[in-house]
Structure 1
């Protein structure tokens, strides 16, 4: 793993450049610009974190924690706060080992998210990765409202050499899921990845559709482990957080996939989402390649953000 990890860590450092320029330079300017830790120091720090898409709630929690640590360790010099701040941010976004339980069991994974966030690509990449681990994978094209989604997923499935269950554009997503679940049982597969539609502007319909899908899975596979991932585009910043909140109202989310971290200055949103929703960011995407989607590691993320060696 070592070499691969360094490769991804290197990509992460590079991918987070815009976010780093947005956050870290400002923070370091405060650490070196203040001679003592006073209210002004905390206020300026707070402002930078809020501006960097960490959001008010998360920033408040981080600053409160920092104040407590400064007091406890009797720190007087602002430059000594950098390490404390880094650790405080890490604590806001830990992912437990058990959060990947679905990868080790027979499981059905629903992947939801609005169009354009990289949802279908995420399903394709995960399918490829699980297949490479020797798992028997099936993908279901249940985002039937967008012809391109079905074509795109078919392409990914062919590339990964996994089976795809699909129907024609406009067909009932629940019918696709029914076919997929039937195939999942018949082929004794390990993981069924379902690309489902995400039309937040019509929440009621989406809610009904997801209920219907869940009913079918509950009825046909009552004992199978369930996972529901929402895919969010990090370049949309606070909008991604708003989407996560809305999806959380219509679905029982168990994890978040954050894409396009390499093209944004709003990478701080990863910290905000995790902290505000208490739903772990499980995967992050920093590029087009299949291995540019990786499990999220808080330590690596924050170290890459602050350009600290691992």
Structure 2
């Protein structure tokens, strides 16, 4: 056959949805989609909805398993949230998926007024949270936690890895009321199984202890904090990592207990703007409770519109790569 006329292999992914896993890192494919399919097998009230992004939120697996319970709303995020609220009023449990920027920025008023004000049982699961795409500010949801934290009665979840997502799905489904969960899709890193971890909605978990630094983290930054802690152990620096997958409501008791231990630098690390996320939530909690760590720092994305580019380059540039996290912790200890 003339090679000039041969068809090129069809691409199945794009740079926009590239995995955040490092080369050679253990991953699990589509943990959200698989967990939802499994959970919904005995729960006919669960329905799946999306705004033209089933494949890119792993909801296509639900659509294949339960086509009669899948609703494609087109590129209309306000309609997606409004319809999800209406379905919830009939007793259904909608899982509504899209990208985090579209779900929060474009549909904020519908989440606020249609879903949250009436405490409807809608589960909003949004991909590409924080700096997990190189496509620039139009697709980088760096302020989603700040927006969702401000909505009364909305539970906010920021899972770290595939295990976190798998275990979170049935718990957010059974939680009475609206939930916003950041979603990692595709080939998702598998990290927390090494730490005897189990997700519990509303609970923070101490993954490792250390005498020098306490890192309070969520999402991708928990993975980075664990990697940095292993690196710094070689320099005789003890780094504790407290994973807080539930951003709202915070597990105040666990955070305060760990922050009260004397002599440690306390760092809040998150894949989100320094404005309005986990860092400010923890800082407010410590201040209100009169807890004064030896030192307190926030490791977060800057309050600016971020660049477009390759994710490894951007993670280095904005300080959330493993190397940069370790470098920051060492500098703050000096």
TM-score (norm 1): 0.35
* Higher percent of residues as helix: 1
Structure of greater Rg: 1
Structure scoring higher RCO (CA < 8 A, sep ≥ 6) equals: 1
TM-score (norm 2): 0.33
